[in-house]
């Protein structure tokens, strides 16, 4: 049994109340709730999930249809091994972004390392080898970070079930990585003023 209700253009909490009434009238089946606002999508999904019901969403033109399953057991297609492959991919991409950001700022790391560790600037002259490739490293770091944010907004955030520590802490880890990459990429521009007092 599939039942559909139209909750477009309704103010909160009306979509949730109508969803609740429709679910109470059903013994089992699939309830499709059509909404057209972000808050309605989130509120209806949260209500259904708090009832222990499986939900997923699909776009229908400009509207969103939330499908709520009641009375059936649903087997979810989750990533194998608890998402280990996805977790490794995330960390590999973050490490790649950090590494390329560091390489992009290599030409100007001498003063920083000297102040932090007392390393002779003269012994770091080989770092200038990376200078001609700075733009390539910068673009690579930005592209990786942009892809990871795109992956969150357009894929992971829409999942009905979030498994694993990476999925649950994705934004936190990615935010830390983004800040670090931004600092490293902008370092050559502000370092001379902060470190050398010029």
The CATH number that applies at residue 45 is 3.30.110.40
Q: Are residues 124 and 183 in the same domain?
A: yes
Residue 75 lies in a domain: no
Which residue bears the tokens 């030409």?
107
pLDDT band at 178 (very low <50, low <70, confident <90, very high): very high
Predicted confidence band of residue 148 (pLDDT cuts 50, 70, 90): very high
Q: Give the number of domains in the chain.
A: 2
Q: Are residues 44 and 101 in the same domain?
A: no
Does 34 or 53 have the greater pLDDT score?
34
Predicted local distance difference test score (pLDDT) of residue 77: 47
Based on the domain organization, do 88 and 168 belong to the same domain?
yes
Same domain, 23 and 111: no
Both 130 and 174 in a single domain?
yes
Q: Roughly what angle, to the nearest 10 degrees, separates helices 84-104 and 134-154? A: 150
Residues 96, 147 share a domain: yes
Q: Mapping DSSP to helix (H, G, I), strand (E, B) and coil, where does residue 119 land?
A: coil
**Domain boundaries, position 168:** 80-195
C-alpha neighbours within 13 Å on the C-beta side of residue 11: 0
Closest CA to 184 of 115, 137, 147, 132: 137
Mean pLDDT of 51-69: 85
For residue 7, which of 36, 29, 30, 31 has the smallest C-alpha distance?
Answer: 36
Same-domain pairing of 60 and 124: no
Residue 174 lies in a domain: yes
**102 and 40 in a common domain:** no
Question: How far apart are alpha carbons 106 and 132 in whole angstroms?
Answer: 11
Q: Are residues 187 and 113 in the same domain?
A: yes
Is 156 part of a structural domain of the chain? Answer: yes
Last residue of a domain, one of 17, 43, 70: 70
- Under 8 Å between Cβ of 35 and 61: no
In a domain? residue 104? yes
88-141 residue pLDDT tens: 888 899 999 988 888 887 766 655 555 555 555 555 556 667 778 888 999 999
Residue 133 lies in a domain: yes
Q: For residues 58 and 65, is the Cβ–Cβ distance under 8 A?
A: yes
């Amino acid at each position: 049994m599939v039942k559909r209700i139209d909750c477009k253009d309704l103010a909160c909490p009306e979509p949730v109340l109508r969803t609740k009434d429709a679910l109470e009238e059903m013994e089992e089946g699939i309830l499709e709730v059509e909404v057209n606002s972000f808050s309605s999508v989130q509120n209806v999904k949260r209500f259904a999930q708090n009832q222990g019901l499986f939900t997923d969403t699909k776009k229908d033109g400009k509207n969103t249809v939330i499908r709520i399953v009641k009375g059936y057991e649903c087997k979810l297609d989750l990533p194998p091994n608890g998402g280990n492959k996805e977790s490794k991919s995330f960390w590999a991409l973050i490490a790649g972004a950090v590494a390329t950001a560091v390489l992009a700022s290599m030409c100007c790391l001498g003063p920083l390392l000297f102040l932090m560790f007392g390393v002779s600037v003269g012994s770091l002259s080989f770092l200038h080898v990376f200078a001609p490739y700075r733009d390539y490293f910068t673009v690579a770091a930005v592209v990786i970070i942009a892809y990871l944010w795109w992956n969150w907004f357009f894929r992971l955030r829409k999942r009905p079930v979030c498994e694993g520590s990476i999925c649950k802490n994705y934004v936190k880890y990615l935010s830390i990585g983004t800040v670090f990459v931004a600092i490293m990429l902008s370092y050559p521009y502000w370092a001379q003023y902060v470190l050398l007092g010029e």
